[in-house]
Amino acid sequence: MAFYLLDTGILIHIVRASALAVEIENKYSLSKPPNISLTSIISKAEILSFSVQRNWGDKNNEKLKDILRHIPIVDINYDKIIQKYAEIAAYSIGKHPTIKLPPGESASNLKDNDIWIASTASVLNAKLLTLDKDFLSLDKVFVDVVYIPQIPNK
């Protein structure tokens, strides 16, 4: 059994039913028990904003609503997630009191939303499934990051 926290980019591909979404489903069995896929309230907000910005039509918005009904949404208003946010934020700028950046790595200044998403995955002990390389600085330090590179359209 695996717990996955799906980042916003993964959700976008799922809504679009893209080839990458099919590949991810086949490789990680996101929707097949005993695996459990979750997403953060932050990713929900980001994808809803994305749908407004891109003027998604009724078809994609209905697919999005259906997907969000079937993927549990994790709130961030929990003390453990808030504390983990503080730790990851400090680490990402090289100011964590006990966990230092690896030699040769510079501070990353992760975006706040990414820190919330990573904090949620960390507290849940879920694998963070993402298309975003920015999370790689946290891999095996705070969270197990499963980075999936996007292959450009040919």
Mean pLDDT of all residues in 34-39: 96
Architecture per CATH, 3-147: 3-Layer(aba) Sandwich (3.40)
Mean pLDDT of the chain: 93
Res 154 pLDDT > 50: no
Name the pTM for this structure: 0.93
Alpha carbon distance 98, 96 (integer Å): 6
Question: How do residues 98-111 score in pLDDT, each as one tens digit?
Answer: 999 888 788 887 89
Secondary structure class of 54 (helix, strand, coil): coil
More confident residue, 136 or 102: 136
Domain ranges of the chain: 3-147
Q: What strand order describes the sheet that includes 36-40?
A: 73-74, 36-40, 3-6, 127-130, 145-147
Phi-psi region of 31 (alpha: psi -120 to 50; beta: other; left: phi over 0): alpha
